[in-house]
Amino acid sequence: MQAEPPSPSLRRIEPTLPSHYYFDPEHYRRELEVFWFRNWLYACRSETLARPRDFLVLEVGDQSLLLTRARDGSLHAFHNTCRHRGALLCPGSQGRLTGDSIICPYHGWTYALDGRLLGARHQLATADFRKRDYALHAIAVDEWAGSVFVNLAGEQAPPLRGALGSVPDELAHWPLARLRVGHRADREVACNWKVFWENFSECFHCPGVHPELCELVPIYARGLQSAGDDPSHVERAEAAPPALAPGALTWSLDGQPVGVLFSGLDEPERHAGQTFGVLQPGAFLVAHVDHARIVRVLPRGPERTLLSVEWLFPAETLASPDFDLERATAFAARVVEQDASICELHQRGLHSRRFDTGVLVPQEYGVHAFQSWIRRGLGELD
């Protein structure tokens, strides 16, 4: 589910969410139920589960999920819990199963890759035991543009395409399904998941936190998200200037492409410098002229969030002998680390006994849209 499109600016100062929303364990549990257990979440790239018997374990809050690819190519997702007595089925993170079944390490209950119970070794027969009653608890799973998504709501989950909103149209010219993961990095951040999303939703912090990014994207140096946020620009009705600094084409240390340019982009898309696709609460994708990046967000506790960043490139870029992975990933990795560090400082300050709510200034309209989405989800707004 996406936050509503932001307004050009806030017309007045707006209050923030209460500070205890960011660290209170009971409120955290409430948000897990409302936002994380009912919305579509990005799980992984399809290539992670490319072959039959490939598996992935995904931890969402206190829920462990197991994704598998069956022999016929179908994709399945379940709660990673044996139907016998609730033991964890698969303690690993990802890999390939040795056979065409999932075997509980505790008592040996064995399941097909589509979740059906096949049997259990050493189990004595009883007349009232029917294997069909003990299939794994399934969750909804679907794929789009080379990415896998899950929804813990299961059969009650809405279609993924509807949840993606306008993202498929906005990114239609990028060959996302053909891109491959060239690098992945995980960073556990000592902050509530909302702190990260609020930081993502504004660039008011950019001049003080991201010097390199402000040099590459000049409008960020003014604490603005885009040229459309500049009142004087709107009044003059000028065409938007290039998003990147003169001579720069992409997000890299020198602003130069790190590989093959995408041929299907139109002039406004090349002009933009970066195009974002957002699926809150679990991920965002940013597409450039030569590569893309997916940032997955997972809650690890009231004050812990796991970020997983995947850099995506065309296969020919990865195969090129001139491809420099460090050069291709260093710039965005620096930005992510700067964001993580400032989010941790934000989280620590929220514990002040004197701080209950803060204020949002005009250029923080994206934060206001996100917090309004939170309030609506919690039933605090119509």
**Dist CA 62 CA 312 (whole Å):** 29
Burial class of residue 51, CB neighbours in 10 A (0-12, 13-18, 19+)? exposed
| Structure tokens that stand for 229 in this block | 């946020």
Percentages of the chain per state (helix, strand, coil), in multiples of 5: 30, 25, 45
Residue-wise pLDDT for 313-359, tens only, equals 999 999 999 999 999 999 999 999 999 999 999 999 999 999 999 99
Confidence of residue 145 (pLDDT cuts 50, 70, 90): very high
* Torsion 73-78-82-83 (CA) sign: negative
Q: Write down the pLDDT at residue 229.
A: 83
Strand residues in 35-190 grouped as ranges (E) = 41-45, 54-60, 63-69, 75-79, 94-96, 101-103, 109-112, 117-120, 140-144, 147-151, 180-189
Give the per-residue pLDDT at 92.
86
Considering the chain, what is the average pLDDT of its residues? 94
Decide if pLDDT at 6 tops 70: no
Say if residue 3's pLDDT is above 50: no
Q: What is the b/e burial string over 327-355, where b = at least 16 CB atoms within 10 angstroms of the residue's CB?
A: ebbebbbebbebbbebbbebbeebeeeee
Least-confidence region, from 82-91, 102-111, 117-126, 203-212: 117-126
d(CA 144, CA 279): 12
Note the pLDDT of residue 193: 98
Q: What is the CA radius of gyration of the chain?
A: 23
Mean pLDDT of the 101-125 span: 94
- Taking only the tens place, the pLDDT of each residue in 68-105 is 999 999 999 999 999 999 999 999 899 999 999 999 99
Q: For residue 231, what pLDDT is reported?
A: 72
The string of pLDDT tens digits covering residues 15-41 is 999 999 999 999 999 999 999 999 999
Q: Is 286 exposed, middle or buried (0-12, 13-18, 19+ CB in 10 A)?
A: middle
Q: Which amino acid is it at 274?
A: Q
The amino acid that residue 39 corresponds to is: N
Q: Find out whether 270 and 280 touch, Cβ atoms under 8 Å.
A: no
> Among 374, 347, 370, which Cα is nearest to 201's?
370
State yes or no: pLDDT of 5 exceeds 50.
no
Q: To the nearest whole percent, how much of the chain has pLDDT over 90?
A: 90
Ordered structural domains, the chain, with CATH: 1-40+165-382 (3.90.380.10), 42-157 (2.102.10.10)
Cβ proximity of 339 and 286 under 8 Å:
no
What band does 9 get if pLDDT is binned at 50, 70 and 90?
A: low
Segment 221-262, tens digit of pLDDT: 999 988 778 776 555 445 566 799 999 999 999 999 999 999
- Mean pLDDT for the stretch of residues 169-192: 98
The label of the residue with tokens 């406004």 reads 268
Predicted confidence at residue 239, as pLDDT, reads 57
Record the pTM.
0.94
